[in-house]
Every structure is written in structure tokens, then in C-alpha cells.
Structure 1
Amino acid sequence: MIAEYWLVILIIIALIAVSGFFSGSETALTAASRARMHQLEANGQHSAGIVVRLIQRRDRLIGALLIGNNLVNILASALATSLFLSLFGEAGVAYATLAMTILLVIFAEVLPKSWAISSTDRFAMTVAPFVRVFVAVAGPLSSVVNAIVRRLLGLLGVTLSTETSMLSAQEELRGAVALLHREGSVVKADRDRLGGVLDLGELEVSDVMVHRTSMRMINADEEPETAVRQVLESPYTRMPVWRGETDNIIGVIHAKDVLRALAGTGGDRKTVDIVKTAQKPWFVPDTTNVKDQLSAFLRRKAHFAIVVDEYGEVEGLVTLEDILEEIVGDIADEHDLEMQGVRQEADGSVVVDGNVPIRDLNRALDWNLPDEEATTVAGLVIHESQIIPEERQAFTYHGMRFIVMKRVKNRITKLRIRPVASESGS
């Protein structure tokens, strides 16, 4: 009789261990990173490939594991109840319930799941070969159970999505990066770079171009000596060449081409023909997707394009550097002009030039001002107010207080921006 008792106890212990295996496997396999598993599989980890194939059918996997877990839990509880009834009589039911609850919670739930969470990928790869065998056996039953569940929920008006995720790949990446940044694993600069890559497909050339009012251009009708001096004194290597009117772009001059022309004339600036030295201009629509424009730059091995609107009017220019700066931030070298436009004040406010792009301001100060309807800070204020504000007028939008400091004709040239919370607290 005693031997039978010990045999039952050993069976119960084994069932609790199997239950812990199912619980830990469910936690590890559902929490495992698909991207990490794909990478490990590519590096030759066979078990990582098994994990990838298992989590491709999460509903089948979870259903099979839950069936197995419940089977062993019920069997262990039934054996424990039978054992305690023979030992303690009617009171054995209460003792069995208490004992199995404690044992299952500690050894079949909390312990294995905590272990699985602490080393998710390693745990998942360790149990994957064994789980694959069990899923192959219990998978058909799991599919039947899932079908019944879907039918019952359908009667209640609830439809389960068959997709693995309701988020796009970009949204998942963006969310993961934002979470890692909040936890301190990803620094702000890296978060901004990754966000810049993800944002390329959502931007148009007009969002990143240099506006026509800020373009440096060469007049083809200027004296050759004057034109050469302007090219050599400019901080830019490429400049548009116009004739008659600024909308009539006839070429793009490169500083290297001018230097070659000067070498060919023995350094005589008066004999350099800027028009013949200039390259043919490349015109692109202002609605061109930035990602497509980047591909076009790389395909054509070009760095510079003139941006035009639907009527063919010049809107600005875009360079390969402008697009790269959307990813890595401002790229400065020893010939760049010092960019002025954002100044932090001691009172917590920020003085901003009206032509500062909203995206640049958001990136620099970690703000979230919308940039869908306007490209610049001045444009945002005009769009939100639906008027051209006067100096000293103030507006509150998107948690910020905008004060117009300077206006030239119809252009807002300087604003003061202060977070509303900062203003109310001061």
C-alpha cells in the first residue's frame, strides 16, 4: 500500500513538472522575437528555425499547449484528490485542493514562466524540438477547438483576425524603438536615425527641399569673372544657373567644373563660359516621394535636382544630402554656414525663425508638432490660425504657446514658442 502511495506521489510530481514545461514553453514561444529567431536561424541555429515555424501558427501552438497543460493539471489534481481521500477521508478533498493549488501555482505557473521570461530566446530554442512533436500530435485537436471558439465568438459578433499582427512592419519597428528609448536601451540620436529611415516613405520632396527663397543661384548674364567669383566664394559645390528670370533654370554649375575650366584657360576668369560649363538641370515634381527620390539619386548617380510644382514653376531644390539629413540629422563640414534659427532662452522658451522646418524642430527638441499641413513653423501658425498674424499676437496650439515676434510684409520671420505647462508653472 505504501509503495502505491509513493508511486502516485511520483506521478503527481512528474505531471506538475510537465505542466511547468507547458507553461514555460507557452510564455517563451509567444514572447520570442521573430526577428531575433530569423537572425539566429540565418547564423546556423537549427532550433531557432523550429521556433520560427512554430510561431507562424500561434493559434495552433497556444491551443496545443493549453490542451496539454490542462490535461496534466486535471490528471494531477484527480490523482491528488484520490490519494488524500484514502489518507484523510472526506477532509482529503479540501487538503488536496489546497496542496495542488499551492504546488501548481508555484511549480507549474510562476516558476517556469518567470524562468522563461528571464531568458526568452534561449528557453524557446531549448523547448522548441519537444514542443514541435507535441504540436504535431495535438495540433488537429487544437484546430478543432479554435474553430469552435471562432464559431461561438462569431455568434456574439466578435470576429478574430487571422492576421499575425494588426500593425504594419513599420509601426511595429517604430513602437519597438520608442519603447527601447524610454527604457534607456536606445539613445535619442539612434532613435531619431531609425525614425528617419521609417519616415522616408511618408515624406514628399517638398518637405525636405531648400525653398526657392533660400536658394543661391548664378545669373548666366553676369560677367564671367563675377559668376566665377560667386561660385568659388559659395559654401555650396553646386548652384543653379538662370537666365532672364529666376524660374528659367538653364543649368547647374559644379565648383569642380569651374576649377577645371579655369585650369584650361590658365586661370583667366574672364574667358570662362559658365553656361557651357554648367550641366543639364534635372527637374522633379514637388510631390515625389522622398524614398523614390533617394532611389533615383542613387540610380542616376546624381546629387542635385530642381523641384517644380504642377505648373512647372520652380519651388526649390533638393540634394542627396537633404535626404540623408532626414536620417542622420544635420551634416556639417568646414565650409557649411552656421545655421541660425533656434535659440533656447533662459526662461524655457525657444526663439525660432519662421522658416525653420517643423521636423527639424521636433527632432532637436523632442517635440511632436504636426507637420502634415505645413512644413515650417510659420506655416504651422498660419495654417492653425487661418490668418496672417500681426506682431505680438499669441496662439496656443498642440500644447505650445506661439508668440509672433517679427513679421516682414506677409511673412512671419521670428516666433517665440513656450510649452503651455512651462508657462502655467512659471
Structure 2
Amino acid sequence: MTWIVIGIVSIFFLLAVSAFFSSSELAIVSINRAVIREKARKGDRKAKILDELLENPDNVISAIVVGNNLVNVTASILAGVISTQLFGNIGLGIATAVMTLLLLIFGEITPKSIGIRNEKFALRVAKPIYIVTKVLTPLSIGLTSLSKFIARNVFGKKQLNPPVTEDEIMAMMRLGEEEGTIKKDERELVNEVFEFDETKVDEVRIPKREIVYLDENDTIQDLINKSIKTGFSRFPVCKNHNINKIVGMVHIKDTLPVEDKNTPVKKIMRNILKIGPGMKADDVLREMQHKKVHIAVVRDKKGNVKGVVTMEDLIEEIFGEIADEHDKNIK
């Protein structure tokens, strides 16, 4: 009888370990990485360990899953042996039913409800999970390699991880929002990023009739006055007051070294990026970043100006309206 008591105690211990693995898994998966990284930057030792774990989340989750399965299988075997000893042939059925119920309640549902978006818990388990990962990663890598080998050579499946589609990602984001692991604004941000990928410059440009511009013969003082009036810092520069002849752009900061405010703006004029209306917004944003410019003129195939687009316009397509004290309708 002594070994039966020890076996039952061992089962409950293994259930506790299973609960630890399950709660830790969800706590780590649902944690806000930015918050943890900030705490790590400020010197929090536990946050540093957790941030290191999050550098390779696949390894961490694989190790946890392997550990959890080992624990659950061991507990189930013990339960089967004890039940068979106590109840004979029907013992295995009893053990299966009881262990299934116990593992669901105490090994999955309850611990995961505790671990979800639980920053304090995630920090608390960071060190033990770090140790578990170091110990079990070789085993999890070995099992993963074996499964890939079997899939490739036995079932002829070359790719275990097929590409994830945009629809699948959005479905996962919606599910995460419903379960509370992802915030609504996070899901909306991902959606905006996908939509931005399909957005054309023509959809976000400032129309030609609304462009605030300067003529190349306008003075530095004219530029300063217009900047004060509109709150803008950059302006396209036209030739002969013809909006279809944008020849460059000026930035208000370039007026600082100029002593004579009657100097024409063409003396401090910079080149302006020229783009077509059919270009994708994300391509334009990357080109702006590469060339370190914040404004571009949109021209059609005939060379006529259709409008201008700014880096702020493009960023707002992803993050929404960026309000400041100068925001107003462009006239």
C-alpha cells in the first residue's frame, strides 16, 4: 500500500508541474514584449531573463511542450498502474477518465486562465523556465528533427511549416482579441499594415489644388511668413507660379544661416523626389527613408503634377491621424 500512496502523491505533484508548464506557456506567449524590454533596460534581472527567452520563443515553447507531455504521460502511466492494481481490468478505464478530467481542469484550463497576460507571473517563472529550456532544448530539437525526417522520407512531405497567409494571420489576430491575448488596437494596427501594402500613392496624396507652395523667386522672408501662417516646415517650389512646374522644395530650417531675408528661395532649394501615382505607398515610404526626404511630388505619365505626398501622410495611413498644434485643413 505504501507504494500506492507514494504513486498518488507523485501524480498530484506531476499535475502541479503540468499546471506550471501550461500557465508559464501562456504567460510567456501573451506577455507585452515592449514592457518587458523596458524593464530589462532599467536593470530588472527577471525581465532580462524573460527578454532573453523571448529572443527565441520557438525554443522556449518547444521545451515547455516537451516537458509538459513528459509529465502528463508519466502521470497517466502511474494512474493506470495504480488503478489496475486497485480495480483490476476496469482500472485502466477509470484511470483514463479521471486523468483526462484532472489534466483538463488542473493541467490546462485553470493554469492557462491564471497565466494569460499575467506579467508578474511571467517574471516569476522566467528563471525556472530558462533552466527548463536549457535542459530540454536538445531533446526538443532532436524530436523535431526526427519528425521532419519521418514526414519527408515516409510521407513525402517536404515542408512542415507552410507559409502563413494574410487571411490566416488576421483570423489569428481576431481570435487573440476575443481571447484577450491581443488588444483591439494591436489587431487594428496589423490590419492597417496589410492594407497599407496595397495602398497606392494616388489614394493618399494631397490634391494639386490644395498644395501650399512657393515660387522660386519668392524670398526667404516669404518662406518664413508662410511657415508661420500654415505651421508647415516644408514647401514645394514652382517656376513662374506654375504648379505643374515644381522644380524643388525648401525647408524652413535652411533659412537659419541666411542673413539676407530678401534672398530668393531658389538659392536654398533642394531637389524633390518625383514619383508616379501608381506606386505603392510602402515602396514610396521606403524610398523616402532611403533618400532621407519627407516630401515627394506625384506626376502622371505626361509630367503633370497630380499632388504631393509627405512622409507624415504615409505614416498616418498605418497609425491613424497624428495630431499636433498645427494640424488644419490645407488651403
Q: Tell me if both proteins adopt one fold, taking TM over 0.5 as the criterion.
A: yes
User: Does residue 329 of the first structure (1) align with residue 324 of the second (2)?
Assistant: no
Q: How many angstroms does 1:285 deviate by?
A: 1.3
Q: Is the 8 A contact 1:286 1:315 kept in 2?
A: no
CA distance, structure 2, for counterparts of residue 99 and residue 187 of structure 1: 42
TM-score (structure 1 length as normaliser) = 0.51
Paired residues, what number? 303
Contact 2:16 2:107 in 1 (8 A): yes
Shift of residue 143, structure 1, vs aligned partner: 1.5
**Distance in 2 of aligned mates of 1:20 and 1:335:** 53
1:164-203 alignment, distance < 5 Å: none
Counterpart Cα distance in 2 of 1:48 and 1:144: 29
The worse-fitting range, judged by mean Cα deviation, of 211-220 and 13-22 is 211-220
- In 1, the alpha carbon distance for the partners of 2:322 and 2:57 equals 43
What is the TM-score when the length of structure 2 is the normalising length?
0.63
Amino acid at match of 1:243: N
Q: Which amino acid is 2:160 matched to?
A: L
Q: Which has the higher contact order (CA 8 A, sep 6+)?
A: 2
Give SS of 2:144's match. Answer: helix
Residues 37 and 81 (structure 1 numbering): CA distance in 2 closer, same or farther, change over 3 Å? same
What is the 5 A alignment of 1:134-149? 134-149=132-147
The answer to whether the aligner puts 1:289 opposite 2:293 as a matched pair is: no
Aligned match of 2:126 = 128
- Structure 1 residues 9-18 or 58-67, which shifts more? 58-67
Closer, same or farther: CA 212–46 of 1 in aligned 2, 3 Å: same
Change (3 A) 1:316 1:54: closer
Give the Cα–Cα distance (whole angstroms) in 2 for the partners of residues 6 and 97 of structure 1.
19
2-side partners of 1:319 and 1:21: how far apart? 51
Matching residue of 2:91: 92
Query: Which of 142, 150, 153 is the equivalent residue of 1:152?
Result: 150
* Aligned mates of 1:110, 1:28 — CA distance in 2: 13
Do the aligned residues in 1 keep the contact of 2:296 with 2:310 (CA within 8 Å)? Answer: yes
Q: What letter corresponds to residue 145 of structure 1 in structure 2?
A: L
Deviation at 1:147, TM superposition (A): 0.5
Q: Percent identity?
A: 27
The answer as to whether partners of 1:47 and 1:128 remain within 8 angstroms in 2 is yes
Answer whether contact 1:243 1:249 (CA < 8 A) is retained: no
Q: CA deviation at 1:312?
A: 6.4
Preserved contact between residue 215 and residue 238 of structure 2 (Cα < 8 Å)? yes
| Superposition RMSD in Å | 5.3
Deviates more, 1:100-109 or 1:86-95: 86-95
1:364 — aligned with what?
A: none
Could you say which residue in structure 2 is the equivalent of 1:83? 82
- Counterpart residue number, 1:406: none
Q: Which residue is 1:8 aligned to?
A: 7
Q: Secondary structure at the match of 1:89?
A: helix
Opposite residue 110 of structure 2, the aligned amino acid is L
Shift in alpha-carbon separation, 1:160–1:39, aligned structure 2, 3 A? farther
Distance 1:86 1:311 in 2: 90
Compared CA separation, residues 179 and 294, structure 1 to 2 (3 A): farther
- Quick one: structure 1 residues 254 and 241, their matched pair in 2 at CA, closer, same or farther if it must change by over 3 Å? farther
Residue 256 of structure 2 corresponds to none
Equivalent-residue separation in structure 2 for 1:158 and 1:180 (angstroms): 33
- Code of the residue aligned with 2:159 in structure 1: it is T
CA shift in 2, pair 1:243/1:172, >3 Å = same
Over 3 Å counting, the alpha-carbon distance change for 1:107 and 1:85 in structure 2 is: same
Bigger CA radius of gyration? 1
Find the aligned partners of 1:179 and 1:7 in 2 and give their Cα distance.
Answer: 41
Q: Which blocks of at least 5 consecutive residues in structure 2 are unaligned? A: 253-259, 277-282
Q: Is the 8 A contact 1:252 1:278 kept in 2?
A: no
Note the C-alpha offset of 1:38. 2.6
- Structure 1 167/131 Cα, relative in aligned 2: closer, same or farther at 3 Å? farther
Q: Which has the higher helix share?
A: 2
Alpha-carbon distance, 1:145 to partner: 0.7
Q: Partner residue of 1:74?
A: 73
- Counterpart CA distance in 1 for 2:322 and 2:77 is 69
What do residues 196-238 of structure 1 show as CA deviations (whole Å, max 9, x unaligned)?
Answer: 89988987876655444555677899xxxxxx9xx98xx7586
